[in-house]
Amino acid sequence: MDDFQCDMLEMLFHFPLEEMDRDAFLATISELGVDINTDDAGNVRAAIFLGSREQPPKQHAHLRVRLGKKKGTLELIYFGIPIKVKNEKLPYVEDCAQWLGQFFKSDTMKAHTHVTYTFDKSFSPVIVLPFPLFTSEKTLAGSLVSGLSILLPKEDPPETAIIQTSGDETHVSLGTTLEVNLKDFDLFAELKRLSVSLIHSLVKKQETDGEQGGADEHGE
């Protein structure tokens, strides 16, 4: 995830319970030592923390599952920072989506997806930020707009983008709804697709003095 300056990718799934092999899933995570909490109404909750196979690990994932009587919610979040996971019997980050996919009947599921990025001072937003806030409100006089929320064309997801500057950093957040095939999901392929299709249209790499000098020499 570091290669894409990505901090987090979150996928939230809502599904009818008949789409999931509930008993098999609960039996499997129980055997793996995951704590399963059941309330008086029979609703089940479980939280799983997944480490990376890479050495040293560069990312981890959180999996939160809520299963009611008729509907279920699955939240799979990838983070671009490492943690030490004590339960080594659990699937790795690299395999967790495919592992989850075996418990669902449908090949694809609709996921509300949220992705965040942080770019250092070697990048800059294509939109000039910050800029003065023009308002008649006296209490806001002298304020600066440090970020924008953008509604993108609906025919080409993502649907929304938020871009903001803070000190030497530029933060970008994307939101969309995707049809996800968990059995074939590839985190890095998805990040590459987003990077090529949109991220590079929101931020740009700053030219260094060496690059500018080189351009002048070639120009001569």
pLDDT of residue 215: 40
- List pLDDT tens digits, range 198-218: 777 888 887 765 554 444 443
Q: What residues in the chain have per-residue pLDDT under 50?
A: 212-220
pLDDT of residue 155: 65
The percent helix, strand, coil of the chain (3-state, each to 5) is 25, 40, 35
Residue 92 DSSP label: P
Query: Is residue 123 within 8 Å of residue 172, measured between CB atoms?
Result: no
Q: Which two tokens stand for residue 64?
A: 């939160």
Residue 180 to residue 110: CA distance in whole angstroms: 6
- List pLDDT tens digits, range 15-57: 999 999 999 999 999 999 999 999 988 899 999 998 888 766 6
Is the bond preceding 82 in cis, omega lying within 30 degrees of 0?
A: no
Residue 187 DSSP label: H
Contact residues for 211 (Cβ-Cβ < 8 A; gap 6+): none
| pTM of the predicted protein model | 0.84
195 phi/psi in degrees, rounded to 5 = -65, -45
Residue 8 to residue 113: CA distance in whole angstroms: 10
Domain ranges of the chain: 2-8+11-208
Query: Is residue 80 within 8 Å of residue 59, measured between CB atoms?
Result: yes
Q: Which two tokens stand for residue 158?
A: 């993502």
Residue 194 to residue 189: CA distance in whole angstroms: 9
Q: Which two tokens stand for residue 168?
A: 């030497």
Cα(first)–Cα(last) distance of the chain, in Å?
A: 40
79 phi/psi in degrees, rounded to 5 = -115, 140
Residue 54 is which amino acid? E
Question: CA nearest 59: which of 77, 87, 80, 76?
Answer: 80
Q: Which two tokens stand for residue 63?
A: 């999996």
